[in-house]
Amino acid sequence: MFYLLLVLLVGLLVLGVVLDNTPGGLLIAISGMCLFFVILIWSVTYVGVKSFINAKYPAIVETIENSRTEEMSEIERAALTNEMLEINSQIASWQYWNNTILDPFYPDEVMELKLLK
């Protein structure tokens, strides 16, 4: 990550020098890079949450329902509870951020997810 930021800063400096002859060239370069990263972060976040909703969540719910009917040891039950806690905290976080100004970053289907019990 450090090297990516370093390359970004060097690229901005080079682009700023190239665009130095135009008024506000450095500002244009910085604005363009910010726009690029916002679009990149938006798409990665949106696709990640969407894949969780469509693929992982139904599989996790089914696994939990099947595990309740089977005989489980205390270690397995503790591991399952720990995993449910992590998933519930992630869902709650997505639902919170979906109600803020960052709403476009998260699909609205996040609000329909139920916490695991």
Given a cut of 70, whether residue 27 has pLDDT beyond it is yes
pTM assigned to the model? 0.68
Return all residues near 92 (Cβ < 8 A) that are at least 6 apart: 115
Residue 16: pLDDT band (50, 70, 90) is: low
pLDDT of amino acid 85: 92
Cα distance between the two ends of the chain = 37
**pLDDT tens-digit series, residues 36-88:** 788 888 888 888 999 999 988 998 888 888 887 777 788 888 888 898 899 99
**pLDDT tens-digit series, residues 1-15:** 566 666 777 776 666
Decide if 19 contacts 13 (C-beta within 8 A).
Answer: no
Which tops the pLDDT comparison, 24 or 65? 65
The maximal CA–CA distance of the chain, rounded, in angstroms, is 73
